[in-house]
């Protein structure tokens, strides 16, 4: 498996334009939220009934954090906090008077439109078109920036 620094450097090559970076700061978290919401909208088995926070969205977060633990344990800890925030935000969205799946779908579509606009401005294709794993690297790229900003080691 490639080291995290190589993943982040390659991802950063197509995310240099300030507009594209700004779009990613908004759209990547929203895409994450939309995916957790869409998965949370899938009917839950009875075993999940112990908590309204235990959904297929929570399972999705757990699987992503497992991948992050293998790739970069320090970043995985940060993503654990992000994941918890996403689970709580999804629960809050589920209280709206319309279906959670509709909310997740709208956020998903609008956020991806934003992403493609950002890449159009950048003049480079999204990284995930080269390797689908970059869909999981995008959130780490943002978190790694925060780690560097606050002088926290990534690996």
Q: Please give the chain's pLDDT, 155 residues, in tens.
A: 789 999 999 999 999 999 999 999 999 999 999 999 999 999 998 888 888 899 999 999 999 999 999 999 999 999 999 999 999 999 999 999 999 999 999 999 999 999 999 999 999 999 998 889 999 999 999 999 999 999 999 97
Residue-wise DSSP of 69-100: HHH-HHHHHHHHHHHHHHHHHHHHHHTSSS-H
Distance of CA 25 to the CA centre of its chain: 11
At 155 the pLDDT is 78
Enter the pTM of the model.
Answer: 0.94
Q: Are 78 and 149 in contact (CB under 8 A)?
A: no
Residue 14 has which token pair?
């197509």
């Amino acid at each position: 498996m490639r080291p995290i620094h190589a993943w982040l450097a390659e991802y950063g090559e197509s995310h240099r334009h300030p507009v594209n970076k700004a779009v990613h700061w908004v759209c990547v978290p929203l895409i994450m939220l939309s995916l957790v919401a869409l998965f949370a909208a899938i009917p839950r088995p009875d075993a999940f009934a112990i908590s309204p926070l235990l959904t297929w969205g929570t399972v999705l977060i757990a699987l992503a954090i497992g991948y992050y633990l293998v790739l970069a344990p320090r970043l995985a800890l940060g993503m654990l906090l992000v994941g918890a925030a996403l689970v709580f935000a999804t629960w809050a969205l589920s209280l709206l008077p319309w279906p959670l799946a509709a909310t997740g779908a709208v956020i998903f579509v609008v956020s991806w439109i934003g992403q493609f606009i950002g890449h159009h401005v950048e003049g480079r294709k999204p990284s995930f078109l080269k390797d689908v794993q970059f869909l999981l690297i995008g959130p780490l790229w943002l978190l790694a920036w925060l780690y560097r900003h606050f002088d926290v080691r990534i690996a």
